[in-house]
């Protein structure tokens, strides 16, 4: 049976990434897949790029009424919370619902009410439990970049304004270098989780800008937080993916003491609603229109907590992500087994926890 993959439009503001760039769609077409691509004006790739290689083109959000039941709906970010109709298709996307995040029951109930299935991208794993595809590197890279831009703005007596995407990392680096050159100092950064994919991205950004970094990982955090050493840095970038309860890395009390030199915190992991959050100092995410907020009762410390940071570099991050995912996409004709079978099992286990 022919696999029909339906690439839906994204709804999140400034979500320019896609789970399937044209060059990867071309490979799946050659493998015999049928691919429908919805119009999406904010997508980094033109709809013409898809039409020229033989994809069928559909109106934005038309999957809701027009996608056949056997089509697999492919997207990236979660649906708008205010849209609550039951979901009857099979969906591949990030749902942010398996760690009991805010609203998780409503998210999963849409699938159970419609007899649909969620294949959460975060939980597409190999037999050893390792993720087969992730945006982690680009989240760390972009998060560190936004942190440096925020720090520069502070040196100029202002807050970082709205952000827009960059065509590639060289354009991003060029802008930061110009702004840094106007200052007589550079920040000192501490990265926690420096050896992971996310931390590697953050470290690469800092290295490209010749910024001093304290790269922390498991060895440095094994004693358990909070860590006063964070306050000895200008920027703190958290790149740790937490799956169990641990002591916090930093606390409201530490910030309230108003000591040290810390000016910017970037929570790349960005899970303020999860019970395992190691940065229990905020309760709302920021976004590209307002990338920072000043933390209450602190010495004017700014927080960056954007939950789709790789959108700062949408072309490179999309291409890299799908290159990781391609081998798994090519097994969709055996969706009940392997990576997909494990993802469905996870969905069923989590759905069983609904009240």
How far is the C-alpha of 231 from the C-alpha of 224, rounded, in Å? 16
Return the bridge partners of 5, or none.
35, 72
Q: Tokens 């109709």 appear where?
A: 85
Exactly one of 4, 24, 77, 308 is catalytic; name it: 77
Exactly one of 96, 154, 233, 350 is catalytic; name it: 96
Q: Is 224 left (phi over 0), alpha (psi -120 to 50) or beta?
A: left
* Tokens, residue 30: 């050659």
* Tokens, residue 185: 């100092």
Sheet holding 34-38, edge to edge: 56-58, 34-38, 4-7, 72-74, 90-93, 117-120
Q: Is 77 a catalytic residue?
A: yes
Contact 227, 260 (CB under 8 A): no
* C-alpha to C-alpha distances, 271 to 28, 32, 212, 333, nearest whole angstrom: 34, 39, 27, 34
How far is the C-alpha of 354 from the C-alpha of 350, rounded, in Å? 7
Q: Tokens 């992730």 appear where?
A: 134
How far is the C-alpha of 167 from the C-alpha of 316, rounded, in Å? 8
How far is the C-alpha of 27 from the C-alpha of 53, rounded, in Å? 10
Q: Which residues are tagged catalytic?
A: 77, 96
């Amino acid at each position: 049976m022919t696999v029909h993959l339906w690439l839906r439009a994204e709804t999140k503001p400034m979500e320019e990434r896609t789970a399937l760039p044209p060059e990867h769609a071309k490979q799946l077409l050659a493998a015999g897949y049928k691919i429908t691509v919805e119009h999406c004006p904010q997508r980094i790739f033109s709809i013409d790029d898809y039409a020229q290689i033989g994809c069928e083109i559909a109106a934005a959000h038309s999957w809701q009424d027009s996608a056949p039941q056997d089509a697999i709906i492919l997207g990236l970010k979660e649906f708008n919370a205010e849209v609550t109709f039951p979901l009857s298709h099979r969906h591949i996307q990030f749902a942010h619902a398996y760690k009991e995040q805010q609203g998780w029951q409503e998210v999963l109930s849409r699938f159970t009410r419609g007899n649909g299935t969620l294949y959460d991208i975060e939980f597409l794993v190999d037999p050893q439990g390792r993720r087969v595809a992730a945006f982690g590197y680009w989240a760390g890279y972009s998060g560190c970049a936004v942190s440096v831009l925020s720090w520069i703005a502070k040196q100029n007596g202002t807050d970082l304004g709205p952000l827009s995407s960059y065509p590639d990392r060289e354009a991003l680096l060029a802008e930061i270098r110009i702004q840094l050159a106007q200052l007589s100092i550079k920040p000192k950064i501490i990265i926690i989780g420096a050896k992971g994919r996310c931390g590697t991205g953050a470290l690469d950004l800092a290295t490209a800008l010749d910024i001093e970094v304290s790269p922390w990982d498991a060895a440095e955090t094994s004693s358990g937080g909070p860590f006063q050493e964070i306050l000895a840095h200008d920027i703190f970038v958290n790149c740790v993916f937490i799956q169990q309860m641990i002591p916090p890395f930093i606390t409201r009390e530490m910030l309230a003491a108003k000591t040290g030199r810390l000016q910017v915190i970037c929570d790349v992991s960005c899970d303020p609603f999860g019970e395992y959050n190691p940065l229990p100092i905020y309760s709302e995410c920021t976004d590209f229109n307002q990338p920072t907020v000043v933390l209450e009762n602190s010495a004017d410390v700014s927080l960056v907590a954007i939950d789709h940071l790789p959108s700062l570099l949408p072309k490179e991050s999309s291409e890299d992500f799908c290159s990781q995912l391609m081998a798994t996409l090519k097994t969709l004709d055996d969706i009940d087994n392997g990576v997909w079978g494990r993802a469905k099992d996870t969905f069923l286990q989590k759905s069983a926890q609904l009240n």
